[in-house]
Each structure stands twice: as structure tokens, then as C-alpha cells.
């Protein structure tokens, strides 16, 4: 089976590069010049970087100087979490607490765990059954001791369920107490409207491969007035916040992808959401006891998260893959690890319910034929997965 005959419905893990981004990347690959060099080739490379920075800033509603290039979303999240906390706790030793939602990506949760092991008081806040942050609990946590909070981190949209988080409410609460807010917007940029200045957040993470750009490049949009302690030290690139030789080709492709995905966001969202809704309705018709996660919540347009009682998600994924349909059981960063999703557990699912899930995520290359392929396969796949699960149970389980 060739790539052209496969159905790709895992855009939340990575989405195919846009042709314009490929062109921008490959054009720069043929050129030479370190953007920190002072000769003509270096100046040409620097011009590409700064023009790319301006394009990203215009697309995201921020100032060019607020765009700090990184190697991707994980580095940007680490820089935000560690860098902001370290700077604020150094300035005021009372700042010992970080608040975050319990459904953050591991690029946020793991640095928080690392800091917790080193004495930082990390509080993970609950979500409801639709994966939406409980703002009342956040308020209670803040108001218990506002002077001790160094940072609040809440993702713009959840990567597994697709639920949009109440960022405006989080920001309003944080501003009452002068607490900076970081948001991981990796899933949101290009999928829903994202305006850095209008949102009021202080730091925002995005990455190239989720918006049709290359792997290995991303950015932390960082309010100029906010002090951040670097986590990488070297040449002092990126306003002394993030050292490292600047990847000019990747940044050129990244900027084109951000610009195009934001420009086409509204039209793409309407088309993709219609496909997603059709997929969900037809899968429910084919498998009537399927459970749809996030019902009633405001979701990203391309996310469909479904739970199939009596099935193991890994079995469903492999059976669909054998039929040429590619999807996910959750975050790609945890693929292959036999454990229930922390997101679904936080939503109140049992471990069995959490393990029975599939995530279909649609994107700019998705078509009605992709939906047809899922619907054609799903009933037989679920029947076979249930029979396998029953057989395992009959001989004593795993």
C-alpha cells in the first residue's frame, strides 16, 4: 500500500507540509550563510530570519521582537515554564508555586515534574468531563496565596480531545494578581483564531510541524517586558533568551506555514469541521454504543475523539492501519506506551474507558473520501477488536 492510497487522520500529531513551506525551506537549503555572521552571506541569512519573524508576528498579533525561535514546541514549553519561574523566583523568593491544568501536554507536565522534584510547589488543577479547566478551582488556588504563584500555564486547546480552554478567564484572573500566563497553543495556531496581544497571555508556544511547516523549528512568543532565565547558554542568539545557531531554512518554511495557515484558517476550519461532524455522525450510526468525548464543549474543528466500549484502542489502531487508515490512541509522544491517557483519567474516565479510545484528527489534506474509508472499515474493526478482547478475558486477561 502506497502513501497515496493511505488515509491520514493524525494531523494533531503532525500535518503534511504545505507546498509553499517546502519551497521556502528548499530555497534556503541551497544558500550559505550564518545569520550571526557580518559578511554579505550572513547578512542575507539574517534578513531572511528577520523577515520571517515579521511574518509570524503579523500573523499572531505580536511584535517581531517577541518571537523567540526554538527547536520546537517542547523546547518552547520548557523555556517558558523553567525560564519564567526561575526569573520570578530569583526576584522574589516567595514565588514558589506554579499552577497548571491537569491535561497539559507532557512538554509542560514533564518540566513541571522535574521542577517539583527540585522543590517547586506544582499544583495541577482539575477539568470537567468535557476536558475544560475548572476556573473556580484555579481562582481558589491563586487566592489562597497569590504572592507565592510564579506562573500559570494553561494550554489553548487540548491535543487529545480538542477542547478549547477558557484562556480569557484565566488571563483575567491572573492579571488581578500580577501573575504571568503561559499557553501552549501548538494545536490552536492555524486551527482557531489566535491573537497574542488580544489574548493577554504573556508567553505562547507554537511549532512548525503542526501548521504545515517543517519539523525541528518552533517559537515562544514572549512579551518583551517579561524577564526569562535562559535554559540554553552559548552565543546569545534570540535576544539572549535562546542561544544556538539559527536554522535559517527551517525558519523560512515555518514562517510561510504560519502565515498561510492563519490566512486560510476560517475557510479551512469550516470545511474540516464539516468533515469531522460527518465522520462522527456516521461512526455513531455504524457503532451505536460509541462514546464521543467532549460533547457540548467548544472543540478544535478537526478533532474527533471516540471511545469504543469493549475494545482496546491499540488493537483498533492496528486493525485500521492494516486497512490503510492512520489515526491515534492519544498523544503521539506516548505512542507505544501501554498506559491510560492522563487526559481521559482527569476527565473522570476509568482506565478501561481511557484505553478504548481513538483520536481522529483531520487537517488541510483531509477529504470526504477519507471519512468514507473510516466509515467503511469501522464496524468490522470494532467487531474484531471486541472478539479479541473477549478472548483475552476468557483466558485471564493480559
What are the tens digits of pLDDT across the range 252-270?
999 999 999 999 999 999 9
Q: Does residue 9 carry a pLDDT above 90?
A: yes
Planar angle of CA 329, 330, 334, nearest 5 degrees: 100
- Window from 188-202, 233-247, 296-310, 332-346 with minimum mean pLDDT: 332-346
Phi-psi category of residue 396: left, alpha or beta, with phi > 0 → left and psi -120 to 50 → alpha: left
Return the closest-CA partner of residue 120 out of 81, 176, 77, 79.
Answer: 81
| Most confident region among 1-10, 211-220, 329-338 by mean pLDDT | 211-220
Write the DSSP string, 17-65.
PPHHHHHHHHHHHT----TT--SHHHHHHHHHHHHHHHHHHHHHTS-GG
According to DSSP, the β-strands at 203-207 and 181-184 are parallel
Whether 349 contacts 313, CB under 8 Å: no
- Mean of per-residue pLDDT scores for the chain: 94
Q: What is the mean pLDDT of residues 331-356?
A: 80
Whether the pLDDT of residue 398 is over 50: the answer is no
* Cβ partners under 8 Å of residue 306, min gap 6: 280, 283, 290, 291, 292, 293, 357, 358, 359, 360
Q: Specify the pLDDT at position 339.
A: 77
pLDDT of 213 strictly over 80 = yes
Catalytic residue, candidates 62, 311, 327, 333: 333
Model confidence, pTM:
0.95
Averaged pLDDT, 312-338: 81
- Residue pLDDT, tens place only, 97-144: 999 999 999 999 999 999 999 999 999 999 999 999 999 999 999 999
327 labelled catalytic: no
What domains are there in the chain, each with its CATH number? 3-15+264-394 (3.90.1150.10), 20-263 (3.40.640.10)
Task: Dump pLDDT digits (tens) for 35-63.
Answer: 999 999 999 999 999 999 999 999 999 99
| Residues constituting the chain | 398
Whether the predicted pLDDT of 394 surpasses 60: no
Amino acid at each position: 500500500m502506497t502513501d497515496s492510497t493511505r488515509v491520514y487522520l493524525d494531523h494533531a500529531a503532525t500535518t503534511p507540509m504545505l507546498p509553499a513551506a517546502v519551497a521556502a525551506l528548499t530555497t534556503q537549503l541551497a544558500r550559505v550563510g550564518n545569520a550571526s555572521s557580518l559578511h554579505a552571506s550572513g547578512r542575507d541569512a539574517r534578513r531572511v530570519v528577520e523577515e520571517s519573524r515579521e511574518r509570524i508576528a503579523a500573523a499572531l498579533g505580536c511584535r517581531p521582537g517577541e518571537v523567540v525561535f526554538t527547536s520546537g514546541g517542547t523546547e518552547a514549553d520548557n523555556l517558558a515554564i523553567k525560564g519564567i519561574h526561575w526569573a520570578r523566583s530569583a526576584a522574589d523568593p516567595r514565588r514558589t508555586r506554579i499552577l497548571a491544568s491537569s491535561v497539559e501536554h507532557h512538554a509542560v507536565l514533564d518540566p513541571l515534574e522535574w521542577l517539583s522534584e527540585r522543590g517547586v510547589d506544582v499544583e495541577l488543577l482539575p477539568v470537567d468531563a468535557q476536558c475544560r479547566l475548572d476556573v473556580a478551582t484555579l481562582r481558589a488556588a491563586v487566592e489562597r496565596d497569590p504572592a507565592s504563584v510564579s506562573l500559570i500555564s494553561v494550554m489553548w486547546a487540548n491535543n487529545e480531545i480538542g477542547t478549547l480552554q477558557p484562556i480569557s478567564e484565566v488571563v483575567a484572573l491572573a492579571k488581578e494578581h500580577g501573575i504571568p500566563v503561559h499557553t501552549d497553543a501548538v494545536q490552536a495556531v492555524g486551527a482557531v483564531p489566535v491573537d497574542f496581544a488580544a489574548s493577554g497571555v504573556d508567553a505562547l508556544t507554537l511549532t512548525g510541524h503542526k501548521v504545515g511547516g517543517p519539523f525541528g523549528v518552533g517559537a515562544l512568543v514572549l512579551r518583551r517586558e517579561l524577564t526569562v532565565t535562559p535554559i540554553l547558554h552559548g552565543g546569545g542568539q534570540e535576544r539572549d533568551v535562546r542561544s544556538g545557531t539559527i536554522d535559517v531554512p527551517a525558519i523560512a518554511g515555518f514562517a510561510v506555514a504560519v502565515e498561510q495557515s492563519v490566512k486560510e484558517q476560517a475557510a479551512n476550519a469550516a470545511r474540516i469541521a464539516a468533515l469531522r461532524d460527518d465522520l462522527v455522525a456516521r461512526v455513531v450510526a455504524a457503532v451505536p454504543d460509541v462514546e464521543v468525548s467532549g460533547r457540548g464543549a467548544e472543540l478544535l474543528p478537526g478533532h474527533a475523539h471516540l471511545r469504543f466500549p469493549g475494545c482496546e484502542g491499540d488493537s483498533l489502531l492496528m486493525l485500521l492501519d492494516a486497512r490503510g487508515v492512520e489515526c491515534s490512541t492519544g498523544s503521539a509522544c506516548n505512542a507505544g506506551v501501554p498506559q491510560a491517557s492522563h487526559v481521559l483519567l482527569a476527565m473522570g474516565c476509568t482506565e478501561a474507558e481511557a484505553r478504548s479510545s481513538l483520536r481522529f484528527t483531520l487537517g488541510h489534506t483531509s477529504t470526504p473520501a477519507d471519512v468514507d474509508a473510516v466509515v467503511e472499515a469501522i464496524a468490522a474493526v470494532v467487531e474484531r477488536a471486541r472478539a479479541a478482547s473477549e478472548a483475552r478475558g476468557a483466558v485471564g486477561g493480559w
